[in-house]
Chains A and B, each alone.
Chain A
Amino acid sequence: MSLKVDIGKALHGFTLNARFEAPAGITVLFGPSGSGKTTLINAVAGLITPDRGHIGLGGRVLYDAKSGENLPAHKRGVGYVFQDARLFPHLSVEANLNYGRKLAPTPPSDAEFDRIVTLLGIGALLARRPAKLSGGEAQRVALGRALLSGPKMLLADEPLAALDGARKSELLPYFERLRDERALPILYVTHSVSELGRLADHVVTLETGQASSLCRPEDVLADPKLVQGGVRAVGAMIEAVVVAHHADGLSELVAGGVPLFLPKVPQEIGARLRVRIAASDVILARRKPEGLSALNILQATVTGLRSGDGPGALVALHTAAGKIQARITRRSAKALGLDVGVAAYAIVKTVSIAQEDVGG
């Protein structure tokens, strides 16, 4: 099952143009506020009508300007998790969860209901009213409600944006689990680099209405033009496996045979994680450093050097753990004689791998 989008829509001040095909897994729609992300998924949901083009899901036509086909929202079979949970305030949590379930062409069974309630950890909330839920709880119920409507695809519009840091990390694992189940394509809107790093299988970037084709997340994370905050926010994503939790509060991970030390992560030994390493957290050395407090030192080869107008330079490196980036000054790059093909050591300070940037 994949989602095909090829649409145009005139908005206030700019035109939305998008053309991509999202396969199973999570496709992140990434871009700054006001770039047309929400408009794009609202068009997929059937909440707004594009001016031209075509939207197809699997073999079904959801919208086609030429044939005049425009399936109303309630017939699209598309689950939607909104930024503001939008639970029905006059219904209990249980009635909210059952709202779409009763209307599904093939209603999810009681066993499926129990499975999703358990997965989301909302069993104790069933009798409550939405007004009595915390933001994180409400958003989990909203996710459950969307999943129980028997959707053929899931849309999520910045589902974590309204939550504080702790609530964010409470909800992220549920989306990761959905991604790994691979049951349905997920279109996930965000402007957060760390959410992109943790969740994305594919990325479509948006800039004032212009959508890119399908990109790889590591390419987006490494591109200062795409990442909000520019070179400061650029970074790399590394896949790693948890191998040990040490008594001194550190967790040991291995990526491509290279050990990485992080402040203790909650995942069990054997779990596969994505670790994001911001370019500004990486220091470079030509010789293997000794007597250094940093624990994570990776042997690397320079694969690219990019310098802008400012004093900074962005160095792309290849390591056994994967591609990473380092942001250093142009002066240092010159002093170290860095160039493509040169061997170097990348030093990542343990503490600089922030908790919220770690995910499985």
Chain B
Amino acid sequence: MSWLGPEEWQAVALSLKVALWATVLSLPPAIAVAYALARGRFWGHGLLNGLVHLPLVLPPVVTGYLLLLFFGSQGLGGRVLEAVGLPLAFRWSGAVLAAAIMAFPLVVRAIRLSIEAVDPRLEAAAATLGASPLRVFATVTLPMAMPGVLAGSVLGFAKAMGEFGATITFVSNIPGETQTLPSAVYSFLQVPGGESAAARLVIVAIVVAMAALLLSEVLARRMARKVAGA
């Protein structure tokens, strides 16, 4: 991609890295939360549901500011993480956290729907065959919910790629460290003569998003066929 300048290329690579990490890291907790919301009957069910969906409805700037308060170098979480050698403030790792939190509700929602679609009678059958609840989940529920997990991952990845408000508030817009693709487009539009660079990045954003959607469509179709046993 020689038609991309070094700064633009840097932003694209960083965005891919951040989105990938955000997706991978948010997946396990998202599956756990989705399962709890889909199958669990416990006190605080509604509260957990609300909390998970909060980033979807809050202004991203507010989410970013809250992250800064808690995970900034002065925040409690930030100091703890810094002590174990994982500083977040103004680092690409912070961008991963911001993207993961913003993508989380979308990932949980997709997975939850697919878990709810799994017939609980199959889970009961697995239990009568000697499978513990954990094994039932790993061998019946999760494999059958896989198309939803995949859809959630792609949706989360796309959301993480495009995350802007919370990221720029939490970790700013530092080229090479926290300047993701959307931040770079924003920056290029602020300087005279930056329109062509911004346009190139916009094309990249569209291509990546389309490719992700098409890939997920193909994979989901193949997986759904496998799950349905056809």
Contact = CB atoms under 8 A, between A and B. Distances in A.
A100 B132 CA distance: 11
Contact of A103 (B122, B131, B144): B131
Contact of B227 (A75, A77, A90): A90
A350 B221 CA distance: 57
Contacts of A77: 130
Given A90-B143, A90-B227, A82 B127 contact: no
B127 A129 contact: no
Interface in A30-85: 45-47, 72-80, 82, 84
B57 interface: no
A82 B121 contact: yes
B121 to A, nearest CB: 6
A340 interface: no
A86 interface: yes
Contacts of A130: 229
A295 interface: no
B228 interface: yes
B125 interface: yes
Given A86-B122, A90-B144, A149 B129 contact: yes
Contact of A84 (B121, B126, B226, B230): B121
A183 B140 CA distance: 30
Nearest to B223: A90
B230 A131 contact: yes
Contact of B127 (A47, A88, A104): A47
Nearest to A92: B229
B229 A132 contact: yes
A20 interface: no
A99 B126 contact: yes
A146 interface: yes
Nearest to B140: A88
Contacts of A155: 128
Contacts of B135: 74, 103
Contacts of A76: 128
B138 interface: no
B124 interface: yes
Nearest to A103: B130
Nearest to B136: A74
B128 A80 contact: yes
6 contacts: A46-B127, A77-B130, A86-B124, A88-B125, A100-B130, A145-B129
| Closest 7 A/B residue pairs (Cβ) | A100-B129, A129-B229, A103-B130, A131-B229, A80-B128, A73-B127, A89-B229
Interface of A: 45-47, 72-80, 82, 84, 86, 88-91, 99-100, 103-104, 129-132, 145-146, 149, 155
Given A89-B227, A90-B226, A131-B228, 8 more contacts: A46-B128, A74-B128, A74-B129, A88-B126, A90-B144, A145-B129, A149-B130, A155-B128
